[in-house]
């Protein structure tokens, strides 16, 4: 399991997280949601060991502070919100950077590109891609790093993603969520920061709702998605499951990954 207790963290000397407790299990998707500025990305960085904090974070029973970086890289991969590159790498070169645990196994990089819908993009320059294509190329890189959701020794691997669908059209959003579901169903753990409450509801096993640096609730979607709870968190009136008075709305449907 991933267990965080009494997490406090600052950013530029400003309190961002205060006394946050959080948990995630392998075999599940755990989503972190909340309004902008709630501390979602900072919490994700704390959980991955990429941001200073007070409190404790234990990954698979071990204090995350005790992990050498190489050992962390073996069991968890992190997809940030954006990954700008200053040098003219090709797409396949970017994805190969994720082969730290599978050196020389180029077929994994190509399979990862196919899974994110970028087969045939290997020779294109990363800077020539659209924002959404760059995001998917980075996802392929991350998938390479933890290609097997469970290690040979039975240790679960973890996939951390910060707003992985923010710049994608709806078809590719569903593709990414299906990949996350597949990873979890095969025994890995997935923790993702999300803004889209509909995609979160249809994919997450557990939802952690933050507001102003504090955890309001973490539970299954059915227990978090209540008018009063969401209204308190987002500071506006929200009605769960009610058809709008005007216009139409589109409900996404989960797809499967071949």
* pLDDT tens digits, one per residue of 63-93: 998 889 888 999 999 999 888 888 889 999 9
pTM reported for the whole predicted model: 0.92
7-65, pLDDT tens digit by residue? 999 988 899 999 999 999 999 999 999 999 999 999 999 999 999 999 999 998 899 98
Nearest in space to 72 (alpha carbons), one of 100, 94, 44: 100
- What's the CATH superfamily of 27-49+70-234? P-loop containing nucleotide triphosphate hydrolases (3.40.50.300)
Q: Where are the beta strands (DSSP E) in the chain?
A: 2-11, 14-24, 29-33, 54-59, 62-63, 76-79, 158-162, 189-193, 206-211, 214-219
Whether the CB-CB separation of 22 and 218 falls below 8 Å is answered with yes
How would you class 230 by CB atoms within 10 Å of its CB: exposed for 0-12, middle for 13-18, buried for 19 or more?
buried
Task: Give the start-to-end residue ranges of the domains of the chain.
Answer: 27-49+70-234
| DSSP code, position 206 | E
- Number of Cβ within 10 Å of residue 116's Cβ equals 25
């Amino acid at each position: 399991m991933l267990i965080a207790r009494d997490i406090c963290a600052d950013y530029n000397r400003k309190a961002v997280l205060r006394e946050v407790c959080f948990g995630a299990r392998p075999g599940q998707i755990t989503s972190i949601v909340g309004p902008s500025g709630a501390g979602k990305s900072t919490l994700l960085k704390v959980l991955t060991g990429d941001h200073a904090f007070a409190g404790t974070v234990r990954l698979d029973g071990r204090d995350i502070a005790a992990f050498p970086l190489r050992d962390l890289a073996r069991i968890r991969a992190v997809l940030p919100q954006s990954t700008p590159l200053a040098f003219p790498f090709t797409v396949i070169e970017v994805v190969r950077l994720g082969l730290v645990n599978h050196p020389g196994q180029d077929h994994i990089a190509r399979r990862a590109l196919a899974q994110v819908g970028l087969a045939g993009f290997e020779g294109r320059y990363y800077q020539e891609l659209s924002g959404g294509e760059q995001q998917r190329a980075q996802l392929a890189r991350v998938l390479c790093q933890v290609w097997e959701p469970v290690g040979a020794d039975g240790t679960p691997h973890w996939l951390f993603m910060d707003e992985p669908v923010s710049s994608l059209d709806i078809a590719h959003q569903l593709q990414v969520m299906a990949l996350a579901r597949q990873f979890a169903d095969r025994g890995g753990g997935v923790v993702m920061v999300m803004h889209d409450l509909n995609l979160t509801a249809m994919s997450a096993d557990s939802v952690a709702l933050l507001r102003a640096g504090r955890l309001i609730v973490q539970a299954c979607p059915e227990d978090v998605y209540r008018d009063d709870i969401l209204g308190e968190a987002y500071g506006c009136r929200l009605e769960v499951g009610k058809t709008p008075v005007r216009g139409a709305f589109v409900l996404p449907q989960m797809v499967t990954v071949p």
